[in-house]
Amino acid sequence: MKLGAPAGAELTYCTNIHPAETWPEVEHLLETLVPEVKRQVCPEAPFGVGLRLSADAAFALEKPDTLARARALLEREGLYVFTLNGFPYGAFHGGPIKERVYEPDWQTDARVAYTSALARVLAALLPPGTVGSISTVPGCSQVRAGAAGARRLMARNLARVVGELVFIEHESGQLVTLALEPEPACFLETAADAVDFFENDVFSPEARTELGRTIGLDDGAAERALRRHLGVCLDTCHASVEFERPREALARLNDAGIAVPKIQLSAGLVLERPNPRTLDEIRSFDDGVYLHQCVVRPAPGAPLVRFLDLDQALAHASALGAEATWRVHFHVPIFERSLDPFSSTQDDLEDLLRSAPSLAPHLEVETYTFGVLPARYRSASVTEAIARELTWAKTVLAGRG
């Protein structure tokens, strides 16, 4: 949905909430559930879609006849695509995903090829004059980040994709941006990590020279290309789980001159002062499908303690103490402030939407865990819940000061 002043952005939701891995499955989704959401929130105007495409679907869409059918379908349903989720390469529903969600990562040629395909598809689907964005993994998992030369290799591979994006813009006139999405337990966890990587590796003289040599640009033009086409996707749940206020994270990135093409509007799970009953109840969020990283502050002012997954935090619950605050990477509906006996990081999200001096051009609700949300917190269908989230976000944005 195109938002007027004061937000002045595109608002949508990410279709990674729906199981759809192959192009025929995505096509069915665009004929059924997405139009149902549109009817509830944007019945009279075209509705912009935040489309999740696996590698299988992206490569299928590169075929001219498939792409033509996709364009015709979007036009028929009153839809358009302006942003892609290029984070999960393979299957994202139906079985344990865990750390595999980051594979292949930015140390691999496969990630470069997949992301380049996404960029070509998005450029072909974008309405004329519309800027496109693609969100992607935060480099790699934390475990993989320690490999020798990992930072340099990831920066080089990102520059390779920037070269493709420069070529796409030259050939088609369509601007596509790529945005790394910091996440707990990854190479990039926070805005500070992103600033460090961009300043010291992505925008380094070596990266500029390599990009310039590849596509025939001088040093200054290469740096401008890197800054124009590459930035950060700020996921508000991820920031809040790290006890980093999203509004402050966005300000840090802006101050460093790093583009933020997309903000994913999401909220995480919060447990205050755990006791045996609440610790037992939070086990229902340990679904066995996704990683639910936990960051715990044992007491006010104490150093943060990080766990790769919820089960690991639960195993150390007694040592963390009864005064602790737990923040869990489990995306809960953004319209829910409380999920009794828990709360959410909705306050941080609302603070960002109401108070940040500026936002990103693309705002995307991303509650992909709806299908594994404990049943007692699912009082509506998936499309009704998405519509409520979009309506909540739109209402908050309308009250920006």
- What is the structure's pLDDT at 24? 98
Would you say residue 400 has pLDDT above 90? no
Instruction: Provide, rounded to the nearest whole percent, the portion of the chain with pLDDT above 90.
Output: 96
Q: Is residue 309 part of a domain?
A: no
Q: For 294-302, which contacts have Cβ atoms below 8 Å and span 24 or more sequence positions?
A: 294/241, 294/326, 294/327, 294/328, 294/329, 295/184, 295/241, 295/242, 295/243, 295/326, 295/327, 296/320, 296/324, 296/325, 296/326, 296/327, 297/243, 297/324, 297/325, 298/323, 298/324, 299/323, 299/324
SS3 300: coil
* Per-residue confidence band for 7, with pLDDT thresholds at 50, 70 and 90: low
Answer whether residue 149 shows pLDDT above 90. Answer: yes
d(CA 7, CA 265): 14
Rounded to two decimals, what is the model's pTM? 0.97
Domains in the chain, number: 1
- For 337-346, write each residue's pLDDT tens digit: 999 999 999 9
Which pLDDT value is given to residue 1? 77
Instruction: Examine the pLDDT at 120 and tell me if it is beyond 80.
Output: yes
Residue 323 inside a domain? The answer is no
**Inside any domain, residue 74:** yes
Torsion angle of alpha carbons 246, 249, 250, 254, nearest 10°? 170
Q: Is the pLDDT of residue 8 over 80?
A: no
Assigned domain for 165 exists = yes
Cα(18)–Cα(385) distance, integer angstroms = 12
Rounded mean pLDDT, 31-51: 97
Per-residue pLDDT averaged across 192-215, rounded?
A: 94
The mean pLDDT of 202-228, rounded to a whole number, is: 93
Side chain identity, residue 82: F
Confidence of residue 6 (pLDDT cuts 50, 70, 90): low
Question: Per the domain annotation, does 253 fall within a domain?
Answer: yes
Asked whether residue 63 is domain-assigned, the answer is: yes
- Going by pLDDT thresholds of 50, 70 and 90, the confidence category of residue 302 is very high
For residue 379, what pLDDT is reported?
86
Task: Say what the pLDDT of residue 279 is.
Answer: 98
Q: Residue 214's pLDDT band (boundaries 50, 70, 90)? A: confident
pLDDT tens string 237-248: 999 999 999 999
Q: Per-residue pLDDT averaged across 344-359, rounded? A: 96
Whether 314 is covered by a domain: the verdict is: no
pLDDT digits (tens, 9 = 90+) for 83-92: 999 999 999 9
What average pLDDT does this structure show over 44-61? Answer: 97
Distance, in Å, from the CA atom of 7 to the CA atom of 20, rounded to the nearest integer, reads 31
* CATH number of the domain enclosing 152: 3.20.20.150
Alpha carbons 147 and 96: distance in angstroms, whole number: 25
What is the mean predicted confidence (pLDDT) over 293-321? 97
Predicted local confidence at residue 80, as pLDDT: 97
pLDDT of amino acid 401: 65
Using 50, 70 and 90 to split pLDDT, how confident is the model at 73? Answer: very high
Q: Judge whether 386 and 36 are in contact, CB under 8 Å.
A: no
The answer to whether residue 158 is domain-embedded is yes
Helix/strand/coil for 6: coil
pLDDT of residue 240: 98
Per-residue pLDDT band at 4 (split at 50, 70, 90): low
Percent of the chain at pLDDT > 70 equals: 99
The answer to whether residue 133 scores a pLDDT higher than 90 is: yes
pLDDT over 80 (residue 5): no
User: Residue 68: which domain range?
Assistant: 10-268+332-398
Q: What is the pLDDT of residue 108?
A: 98
Mean pLDDT of 11-34: 98
Average pLDDT over residues 131-147: 97
